[in-house]
Amino acid sequence: MKDKIVDMIDEVLPEIQLKEKTSEDSNIYASIARQLEFLKNCYENGLDYRVKLNGKKLNFGIIASRNFAGPEEELEEKISRINSYIIHN
């Protein structure tokens, strides 16, 4: 299971980081990137991200669904799959 989620994050993270550097909305991409990096670190190190969040919530899926449209729809779908995976596993 760990490898699947890490692979999913590894697929989308470079796209997010590139958009963070080139977009006027860099704060949106920076927030998503930080959250994905956090998740990846937790899964790679066998940590329960829910415990590490200490009551806080991840919102990268909500941010993506509200802000990505048109050409970014494919990116939003990838992020949505990550969000669904962590909810159901």
pLDDT, one tens digit per residue, over 21-69 is: 999 889 999 999 999 999 999 999 999 999 999 999 999 999 999 998 8
Into how many domains does the chain fold?
A: 1
Contact 88, 15 (CB under 8 A): no
Q: Where in the sequence is the domain holding 72, given as residue range(s)?
A: 2-88
* CA 73 to mean position of chain CA atoms: 14
pTM of the model: 0.92
pLDDT 10s digits, 39-48: 999 999 999 9
Q: Which of 67, 70, 68, 58 is nearest to 5 (CA)?
A: 58
> How far apart are the C-alpha atoms of 36 and 34, rounded to whole Å?
6
